[in-house]
Structure 1
Amino acid sequence: MASFNPVDYAVPAFVALVMIEMIWAWKARPEAYEAKDTLVSLAFGLGSTIAGLAFGGFIVALSLWLYSFHLIDIGWQWWIWPICFVLDDLAYYWFHRTAHRVRWFWASHVNHHSSQHYNLSTALRQTWTGFFAISFIFRLPLVLVGFHPAMLAICAGFNLIYQFWIHTEAIGRMPRWFEAVMNTPSHHRVHHATNPRYLDRNYAGVFIVWDRLFGTFEPESDDERIRYGIVKQLGSFNLLWAVFHEWVGIAQDVWRAPWRHKLSYLLREPGWSHDGSRETSDMIRARWLERHPENKPVSSKNAIAERGKAA
């Protein structure tokens, strides 16, 4: 069971779906695919697989060692699996949110956002440096609680499989009940957008309810075309630059910064600078909201007050 990886079995379906979407894009939306961009995405996927093989053994060994200290004997009963899947998805939400809010983790995760196109091949842009960034630590608390590492690995695999299909513009919106609970292409297009209103929103893996619960949800708007990529676009199809550019940027900033600010360039949000010469996503979004106050979120307290006045 420990050797079972559901993603391995899904790869043929991934390839088939990419080909089908290419055929759709050729007639319906030619700009959805760009040859060089797609090749970079495929190379990302291959490199990520190699990195996983190279460093996965250490993560497995560490997880099994930590499991020897687990608090509860949870077991393998059938009803444990959906609980594990939901909790693993919650752990993914917090990893994903942290990966956008802490530059150290962003340096690894930015790879996934580096394409200015949004299609199924974009889903293959997985990091090569996740091990170096210690991104795996977000699932370790579940190991300590008592979920077996093999069970978590299988749930994480199905989580990743689910996230593949939401990287598309070929699907508009799903039924309202589905959009309310699950992550969908519409929700995830928002997450990949660089439009100010969409920055750092919709971190969900499978269940969008986490974003709704923790205040990071933003619906897709029909009156604004989405722009994909990162705030400062790569401007290059160089694979190595795409993989390592943010690590290079961190090294340069840490080297040049005064001593009291060096750690902040690792742990503060992307775009932060000690002299205010750059902008974070919060700054960009706040400036946009000043120009568009009608889009400011209304707190539940204010909403109740407004309803009271209307009554």
Structure 2
Amino acid sequence: MKTDVYNIQFFFAGFVLVALLVEIVWANVKKKSVFNLKESLGNFGIFIGNNIMKPVSLGWKYMVFDWISQFQIFNIPINVFTVILTFFIAEFGFYWYHRLSHETPLLWTLHHTHHSSMKMNLTTAVRLNWIGAFVSPLFYLPFVVIGFSGDVLLICVALGLFFQYFLHTEAIKKLGLLEGLFFNTPSAHRVHHGSNEIYIDKNYGGALIIFDRIFGTYQAETEKVNYGVTTGFFSNNPIKVNFLPIIQYLKGNWKREKQRIKEQKS
């Protein structure tokens, strides 16, 4: 199973380049300004860093899943039905991990990396925080405790992320009746990346949009999307993009705690 997951992610990495070339051709033919060279190079730098750490992050996922499996309440068998159910469970877990990454300040410092991109193209999809790869597996542990296979769960998560890669584009317009129905779409995900007031904290779904419908966080694309975070341009430096938000957060908390102690002593 470990080899299967690694092969899926390796295939994903190769497919990134092929699909990206198609998008570049589309952008040039249609004369669409969807790329910024410095930003795209920064995204590739982040992508390379994640792949260098892939053996470690993948090993970490299996380690925590293997450890938690000793506490399983049930032993859910692996068959067609439970594999499909596991995919839905993985999507449910992703929805809440994604939503909490927006609503919880500490998690936002990691997710900020992905949203600080000022353009929407396929390189944006791989702009993922290096630390985040070690945090996200923790949100799926309750499902392993219930009895779902950790191996199947990891494959479902990987497939969901593979699907999401194609959502980061302007080349695919709104899909008519399919919008907001069942699967996530590029239009719905463009909304998620928008800093427009109407778009903030909307459309958290991964491959599926149904949980946004259920929990009231769905928003259709109704106006031109302004990409990036509300504070504007952040950086194209992969190191800053990955670590500066969390450093600023911890530094701010340290200053507030220092001030609190000072006020108590006065």
TM over 0.5: yes
RMSD: 1.8
2: CA distance, partners of 1:173 / 1:131:
31
The corresponding residue for 1:119 is 121
1:100 corresponding residue in structure 2? 102
Q: Does 1:217 align with 2:235?
A: no
**Is the contact between residue 166 and residue 186 of structure 2 (CA under 8 Å) also seen in structure 1?**
yes
Residue in structure 2 matched with residue 251 of structure 1 by the alignment: 250
> What do the CA deviations read for 1:188-209 (whole angstroms, capped 9, x no partner)?
0000000011001000001111
Judge conservation of contact 2:179–2:188 (CA < 8 Å) in 1. no
Matches within 5 A, 1:72-111: 72-111=74-113
Name segments (4+ residues, structure 1) moved above 3 Å. Answer: 258-262
User: Counterpart of 1:52?
Assistant: 54
Is the Cα contact below 8 Å between 1:111 and 1:125 reproduced in 2? yes
Task: Describe the shift of the 1:156–1:260 C-alpha distance in structure 2 as closer, same or farther (beyond 3 A).
Answer: farther
Q: Is residue 61 from structure 1 mapped to residue 60 from structure 2 by the alignment?
A: no
* TM-score (normalizing by structure 1): 0.79
Aligned residues: 259
Residues 216/259 of structure 1: CA separation in 2 closer, same or farther (3 Å cut): farther
Note the C-alpha offset of 1:11. Answer: 2.4
- Supply the distance in 1 between the matched residues of 2:212 and 2:234 (Cα, whole angstroms): 31
- Structure 1 counterpart of 2:182: 181
1:107-162 CA-to-partner distances (Å, cap 9, x unmatched) read 11111111100001110111101156x33211001110111211111111100110
Q: 1:249 to 1:74 in 2, by over 3 A?
A: same
Task: Describe the SS at the equivalent of 1:128.
Answer: coil
Contact kept in structure 2, 1:41 and 1:124, CA below 8 Å = yes
The residue aligned with 1:302 is none
Distance 1:162 1:139 in 2: 19
In structure 1, how many angstroms separate the alpha carbons of the residues matched to 2:9 and 2:178? 27
Alpha-carbon distance, 1:67 to partner: 0.8
Which of 32-41 and 55-64 deviates more?
55-64
1:1-311 mapped onto 2 (5 Å cutoff): 1-5=1-5, 6-130=8-132, 134-177=135-178, 179-221=180-222, 224-258=223-257
Q: Secondary structure at the match of 1:67?
A: helix
Deviates more, 1:204-213 or 1:134-143: 134-143
- The structure-2 alpha-carbon separation of the partners of 1:2 and 1:193, relative to structure 1 and needing over 3 Å to count, comes to same
Indicate the structure (1 or 2) with the bigger Cα radius of gyration: 1
Q: Percent identity?
A: 30
Higher relative contact order (CA 8 A, sep 6+): 2
Q: Take 2:260 and 2:193, find their aligned partners in 1: how far apart are those partners?
A: 30
Instruction: Tell me the amino acid that sits aligned with residue 124 of structure 2.
Output: T
Deviation at 1:19, TM superposition (A): 0.5
Is the Cα–Cα contact under 8 Å of residues 41 and 121 in structure 1 kept in the other structure? Answer: yes
Q: Secondary structure at the match of 1:233?
A: coil
Do the aligned partners of residues 236 and 178 (structure 1) sit closer, same or farther apart at CA in structure 2, a change above 3 Å counting? closer
Q: Distance in 1 between matches of 2:139 and 2:218?
A: 21
Counterpart residue identity of residue 27, structure 1 = V
TM-score w.r.t. length of structure 2: 0.92
Deviation at 1:181, TM superposition (A): 1.1
* Structure 2 unaligned residues grouped into runs of 5+: 262-266
